[in-house]
Structure 1
Amino acid sequence: LAPAYYARQDTKTPVKIGIVAMVVNMVFNLALIFPLQHAGLALATSLSAFVNAGLLFRGLRKRDVYRPGKEWPALWLKVGLAVAGMAAVLVWGMPALQAWSGVGIWMRASWLGAWIGIGALVYFLLLALLGIRPHHFRNTGRA
């Protein structure tokens, strides 16, 4: 989203929004580190990235620089269904925490690699079944 601002010779707005996102990240870090420990830091970083993207997007929409196409809601629904299906397969199939803790590092790494592969396979298979092809994600240059 930031390149859209740079293309319009506006370098200040993305920097200001980045500073806001950084402050939001620090606030979330402090709020989430105690209840969630190290996972709270990861969540805080993710949430601040969403804030950054949301503010950049809102600014582009407000200035009428970007208008999403009419096909976007259907695309987001299909992607959401694929994500939900992938999550369901991973939650259903992954071993319990005790099983992960009870094996060595190489077995855990093997399991993790296998489940990452299974998750990716399920996700892309579901996208294909829902009619999504790689060209749907490419930037066509249309506003």
Structure 2
Amino acid sequence: MANLLNHPEVIKKAKNEIDTHVGSDRLVEESDMSKLPYIQCIVYETLRLHPAAPIWSPHLSSEDCIVGKYNLPKDTIVLVNAWAAHMDPKMWSDPTHFNPERFENENEVNRLLSFGLGRRACPGSNLAQRTVGLSIALLLQCFEWKRIGK
């Protein structure tokens, strides 16, 4: 919510999406979330800026490999810094800025590391993202939000 309060234009766009696709005569439901892609963009951007696990749990390389310019022998402990990857200006334009629109291109979602990757990715990531998206939509639908002070 702090990101949203600091970007009232994002709140306005999200509320407009809710009003257009759900209306004001009923509350947003989980089945509505597929019609609210901008809300999902807000979730993705929040996870990019504030990953729940900024540094993944240690992994061991299963065989000799090269990562970037580094040779990693088998059984090397590898730590992935998801936060640093999400702040890398080589991967993201203006990485410190809250910009949900960057995820309007579906390909950008594949660069998120918030829940891990591959077979060791968090099995609850879809549930977590849907729950957070629905919560944001309900908070925006039910309340008027504005900053006080600077």
Larger Rg: 1
Q: Which has the higher contact order (CA 8 A, sep 6+)?
A: 2
**Structure with the higher fraction of residues in strand conformation:** 2
TM-score w.r.t. structure 2 length? 0.31
TM-score w.r.t. structure 1 length? 0.32
**Structure with the higher fraction of residues in helix conformation:** 1
